[in-house]
Structures are given as structure tokens and as C-alpha cells.
Amino acid sequence: MESLSSELQSNALLNQFELPDFSSILPEHVVPAVEHTLAKAEQILTNIESENNITWETTVIALREISRSVEKVWGCVNHLLGVKNSPELRKAHEEMQPKVVEFFIRMGQSRKLFEIWEKLEKNTAEVNTSARKRIIQSSLRDARLSGVALEGKQKERFNEIQRDLAALSTRFSNNVLDSTKEFQLEIFEPQDIQGMPESWLQLAAQKAIEKGFKDATPEKGPWVVTLDFPVYFPFLQHCRNRSLREKVYKASNLKASGEDFSAAWNNWEIIKQILNLRQEEATLLGFENFAEVSLASKMAPSPGHIQSMIHELAEVARPAAKAEVETLQEFANQNGLADKLQLWDVSFYAERQRESLFDYTDEQLRPYFPIDKVLSGLFKLAHRLFNVSISASNQEVKVWHSDVRFYDVFNSENKKIASFFLDPYSRSGEKRGGAWMDVCRQREKLPEGKVQLPVAYLVCNGTPALKDRPSLMTFSEVETLFHEFGHGLQHMLTQVDEYEASGIANVEWDAVELPSQFMENWVLERDVMDEISGHFETGETLPDSYFKKIIAARNYMSGSMMLRQLYFSILDLELHLNKNAGERVRDIQKAIAKDFTVIPPLANDAFLCSFSHIFAGGYAAGYYSYKWAEVLSADAFAAFEEAGLSNEAAIKELGQRYRDTVLSQGGARHPLEIYREFRGRDATTEALLRHHGLLKKAA
């Protein structure tokens, strides 16, 4: 181990060993750890650039040391920013982010390194596998997209844009978090919470206690409504007080927009700056618009192909959505609504209509999904499909919160092949919303021959446990867990030993959702349901009466839900196709909303101000990836349906083939080739439309 000063020797970010010690990592560790890591990386890069003997070892393996060390330290910082945010951590992150961006710009724009890649590409003795060829091709492409061909003032401006975009994305994300944290609706009158489920009352009382109402109880209140999803969404579904629903809906819609309660956090100007900078970046790189930049590293061949897919699906989804809203309007009018449905009415009356049509509520299902039972069933499914075993680790692992769990994954010979952290519950104020999988450790063959095993972070924002009961999951939370676990499987079951192409590394962005969405399909299989459900008091599996109702309700409002996703996808794409989008954001949104919404958005609609996927995540001109991959995942699941879901031998064989292709080959081959190897053909939209109950409407 290199000689470090005593201060650095005690820095938990630098001394991670097999896994990070999250109990010892402090915000004050960030700056010295990142500075030391970048200095070391710069030295390695300089040595590579001066190397005359160009081989895989002297180039890729040497660069790997940079990637591994920086991603270990900076990846850990970014992870904590998402799950344990604090002012001190933010400050340290903001101080170091420009330096990290600057280093990777410097590496991406190294002419010497680019020339080394070009020479290495011609060395067929060294570049002798599909993985190595893909790594070289991707590295050359990424260098071009990093501005390697730029000179002088153009290069300086490009680099300035990269630094500014990184800072703006962080500000966007922090504004959403702060705005979410700021809002709270205090309810003192029992009549204002009539109709709310018991589990929500407990959670809202718990939130009240956290906000300083020490004597709050589920029965007597007060109750605090926040914009955290487990609180916010059930409120819109069940609150009978229409004016309160309106207030909460608008608060969520206007998050980080500078309006109403969130005046201190305004993302509109940040959106404008981000879009303008992305267009300027595209121009510098020789592209017409940023959408073309984005697609240069994706599976979809062109914006036109994406638009065709979106419009093909919309032709079916749009009339279905209109019919669904008309039916919902009639139902609402028959059940006490005197005027037109408003946006804050939709979830409420949709839930009432769903209860009426299918005679069950989410709350009636919740007791059947205690988290431990769901996890047990999920792990059994993984064993059934992919012949792996999962159990709580015996290893003493230091985590960032007491709710976090750590699991090991074993192959059929009981040999450990991977591990993962699971952070299942929402935490107001310190953990960002949504759910995601991220990389803690990546599979690679180390110089001494040993294989570094992959480790994943699986992060959800589910309903936490309460005083007298375990965490009881909603059905959508169960689906979300399956989704993130699918991402984790692709990371953990990879058989690629090259760091740059193992797991999800080097997988085209619009293919990366295939494994996650594929796993969601299994939730609605009866055998799987029997394994993931068990009443928290009696242990009874979900009764068949409920299961049949879930199946019947599977495609309730499916046209509306599909149209909503298509709206987000086409809006994202158009914002990045239009050269002047930064100046016309609201006009573009309003024009698209006319064709892709049934109930028009608010006049001052601001959902874009919290659309973190495209302004603070990696989905810029890429949100369509969800639908693109959903076509793939539905078609992949159809292979299992065609084989017969009760045919265990066939399921086992198909599961192994799926594991050997989609899950194990990572970024070593183009995803289209991998999919064809699994399915024997390209995917079609038929299975997706059939699964959503829309196929007959397409005929």
C-alpha cells in the first residue's frame, strides 16, 4: 500500500478495503480524499500518455486503476449524497465536483490517449475478444463526444460547459430535495382525514412527531402531509377533502419552481441554462442538436426511430386514455362530483372506481406484503430462474443507516459470486425520492488472477416500519423492488471480467431497463404471488379472490398510464431536438401536452422543475428508454409465456439462456446481438400491447 500521511491513513474514503465503512465516512473526508485520488490519477494518466509500448496492459489495465480509484471514492460520495444528504456533505461535494469533472474532461480530451486507442484498436493480437473490441470502440466514441477534436477557444468553452452542467444538475437536484423537505401540511381536524387508511394515519402521525408534535397519535392527530411519495400519493388517492387534495397536488406539481411555498428554489432558470448549454455543446461537437449527441451512445439508431415508436404506441394509447377519462368523469359525477374532473381529482376517483370495479383497495392488500416475506419470495424466484441463492450476509458490514441490509449471492456450488446493500425505506430530508440501483463494486479480474466480486446498491423509498408492525408494502412498492432487483441482477450475475464492460458498464442506456422491467412481469404470476405474500399477522398468502381482482385490474387505466409515459418521452426528446428550447420550454411543453394529455396540465404546470431524470440524471434525450426497453422486456417475458409458465423444465432452460445472454454478457456485445441470441429474433410491440390490454384496440 502506498505511503500516506497520518491524516489520509485515517480517511475512511481512502481506506475502503473490501467495502466502504459507511459508519466512519465523514463530510470532512471528502475534499482530502478526492484531491489525493485525483492527484494519483493524474500521475497515472501522464505515465500512460508517455508510454511507447502500447498494449492492453499498459493502456487499459493502467487506465482501469484510475477508473477504479476515482469511482470508489467519488462514487461513494455521490451515493451518500443520495441516501444521507446533509449541508456539510453538499458543501464538500460542490467544492470537489468541478475538479472531478475537470479531470475527466482532461482525460477524455487527451490527444495522446486518443492516438493510443487508435493504435491499440489495430492490434488484433491484443484486442482479441468482443468485449475488448467494444471497449476500444466505446472509448474512441466517448473521446470524440468529450471534445478530443476541439482546439483553442472551442475546447476551453466546451470544458467550461461541462463544469457548468455538472454544477447545474447538482443544484437542480438539491432544489427538488429542499423544496420537498420544506412543504408540510398540518392537519388538526379529524374530518379532514376521513377516508384515509390506517397505515397512512400512522405514517402521518409519525411525520408529525418528527416535525415536533410530540404527542401526535394516529387516532387523534395532528397529522402531517409531506411530499414524500408514501405520504403524498395515498393522500391524493383517499382524502375526501377536495380543497386539501388540490393544495397538495399543486404543491407537488410546483416543487422547485419558485412559486407558492418553494420560492427559494427555482429550477426554471436552471432548466433554461441546462438546455442552452447542451445545445451549445452539440454545436461544438458538430451535431445538429443534443438529441443526436445523446443517441450517439444508445441503441436507438436515430430520433426518427424513437418518434416512430412513440407515435405508433400513442395511436393506440390516446383513444384508450380518452375513453378511460370519459368513463371516470361519468363515475365521478355519479358519486358526488358536481363539475369536471381536475388533476387533483383523478387519483381519488380512479381509486374509488377501481374499488368499485374490482372490489379491493391497496390498503387491503398491504398486510399481505410484509417486506421480509416479499424478499423471501423474490429470492426464491431468482433461484428458480437463474439458479442462484441469496441470504443475509454473515459479514460485519458498516452501513449508512440502521435500516440498511446486506446480502450475499451464491451460485449452484454455494460459491459467493456477488453481494448487495438494500436501503428499502423513505427518509424525509436526507434521502432523495425514487428508486435506483447503483454500483459499489464492479466485477473484474485483478492482476493477481483473483476476481473482484460485484456489489450493488439497491435503493427504494418504500413505507417504513411503524411502532407495532413491520414494513407493509403497497403493491406498487413490491413492483418497484422487483424492478431494482432486475437491475441488480444484471450487475451481479455478469460473467465479463473486463471492468469496462462488466455488469451494466458499457450497456447502451436504452437497453439497461430491459432486465429491470422484465422482473416486474413475474409479480403477477400466481406461483410467485404465493411466495411473496403472507399476511403479517396470520401468514396467509394473498387469497385467490384478491389475486383474481388484481389480474382483472391489471390494465385499469392502462391507456392513460402509457400515454403519460409517452408524453414524458416525447417532451424530453423535443426539448433536446429544438435548438431554441431553452427560450421556449413552456411553449414546447404546452404544444406537446395538447396531443399527449387528456386533462390539460395546470396553466402554470411546473412538473419539469422536478423532472430529475432529464435535468439531474442521465436521461437527457433518453427518457424514451423506458418504453424502448419495455418493448424488449415484454417480448422477453413472452418467451416464457410461450414455453409455458408451469413447465418447470422449460422455464429453467429459458432462465439459464436469459442469464447467459442478457444478464451475463453486460457491455461486452451490442445489446441487439445479445437479445437476438436470447430470443432468436428482434423484439416487436405485440407483447407490450397485449400485456397492457391494448392489442385488441390496435387491431
At 359-382, the pLDDT tens digits run 888 889 999 999 999 999 999 999
Which letter does DSSP use for residue 77 in this model?
H
How far apart are alpha carbons 470 and 536 in whole angstroms? Answer: 8
Q: Are 292 and 620 in contact (CB under 8 A)?
A: no
Which letter does DSSP use for residue 462 in this model?
E
Specify the pLDDT at position 301.
87
Q: Are 519 and 513 in contact (CB under 8 A)?
A: no
- Express each pLDDT in 502-519 by its tens digit: 999 999 988 999 999 999
3-state class of 605 per DSSP? Answer: coil
Q: What does the pLDDT average to over 130-144?
A: 95
Q: Are 20 and 76 in contact (CB under 8 A)?
A: yes
pTM as predicted: 0.84
**Strands, DSSP E only, in 95-251?**
185-187, 223-225
Residue 152, C-alpha cell as written in the block: 483553442
3-state class of 495 per DSSP? Answer: coil
The amino acid that residue 167 corresponds to is A
281, 484, 513, 531: the active-site residue: 484
Q: How many CA atoms lie within 13 A of 599 on its CB side?
A: 17
> Across the strands, what pairs with 369?
none
Specify the pLDDT at position 8.
87
> Is residue 698 pLDDT above 60, yes or no?
no
> Is residue 577 pLDDT above 50, yes or no?
yes
Q: Are 435 and 612 in contact (CB under 8 A)?
A: no
- Express each pLDDT in 186-243 by its tens digit: 999 999 999 999 989 999 999 999 999 999 999 999 999 999 988 999 999 999 999 9
Question: Could you tell me which of 594, 573, 565, 601 has the C-alpha nearest to residue 692?
Answer: 565
Q: What does the pLDDT average to over 411-424?
A: 97
Domains of the chain (ranges, CATH numbers): 6-149 (1.20.1050.40), 183-262 (no CATH), 268-359+558-623 (1.10.1370.10), 367-554+626-698 (1.10.1370.40)
Please tell me the chain's helix, strand, coil percentages from 3-state DSSP, rounded to the nearest 5: 60, 5, 30
- Express each pLDDT in 298-307 by its tens digit: 988 899 999 9
Specify the pLDDT at position 467.
78
Helix axes 303-334, 558-577, angle to 10 degrees: 140
| Annotation says 484 is catalytic | yes
How far apart are alpha carbons 374 and 542 in whole angstroms? Answer: 12
Calculate the average pLDDT of the chain.
94
Question: Could you tell me which of 550, 512, 535 has the C-alpha nearest to residue 674?
Answer: 512
Question: Could you tell me which of 195, 463, 559 has the C-alpha nearest to residue 349?
Answer: 195
Which letter does DSSP use for residue 370 in this model?
B
Find all residues with CB under 8 Å of 178, minimum gap 6, and list them: 256, 264, 265
How far apart are alpha carbons 172 and 178 in whole angstroms? Answer: 10
Q: What does the pLDDT average to over 411-416?
A: 97
Q: What does the pLDDT average to over 416-428?
A: 95
Specify the pLDDT at position 3.
61
Q: Are 306 and 628 in contact (CB under 8 A)?
A: yes
> Is residue 1 pLDDT above 50, yes or no?
no
How far apart are alpha carbons 568 and 624 in whole angstroms? Answer: 8
- Region of poorest pLDDT, from 31-40, 56-65, 687-696: 687-696
Distance of alpha carbon 142 from the chain centroid = 23
To which residue does cell 425520492 refer? Answer: 433
How far apart are alpha carbons 203 and 125 in whole angstroms? Answer: 62
- Express each pLDDT in 612-655 by its tens digit: 999 998 899 999 999 999 999 999 999 999 999 999 999 999 99
Confidence of residue 528 (pLDDT cuts 50, 70, 90): very high
The C-alpha angle 142, 148, 152, rounded to 5 degrees, equals: 150
Q: Are 633 and 523 in contact (CB under 8 A)?
A: no
| Percentage of residues in the chain having pLDDT higher than 70 | 99
How far apart are alpha carbons 85 and 651 in whole angstroms? Answer: 43
- Express each pLDDT in 477-492 by its tens digit: 999 999 999 999 999 9
Question: Could you tell me which of 652, 647, 618 has the C-alpha nearest to residue 436?
Answer: 618
3-state class of 255 per DSSP? Answer: coil
Confidence of residue 697 (pLDDT cuts 50, 70, 90): low
The C-alpha angle 16, 18, 22, rounded to 5 degrees, equals: 45
How far apart are alpha carbons 578 and 347 in whole angstroms? Answer: 33
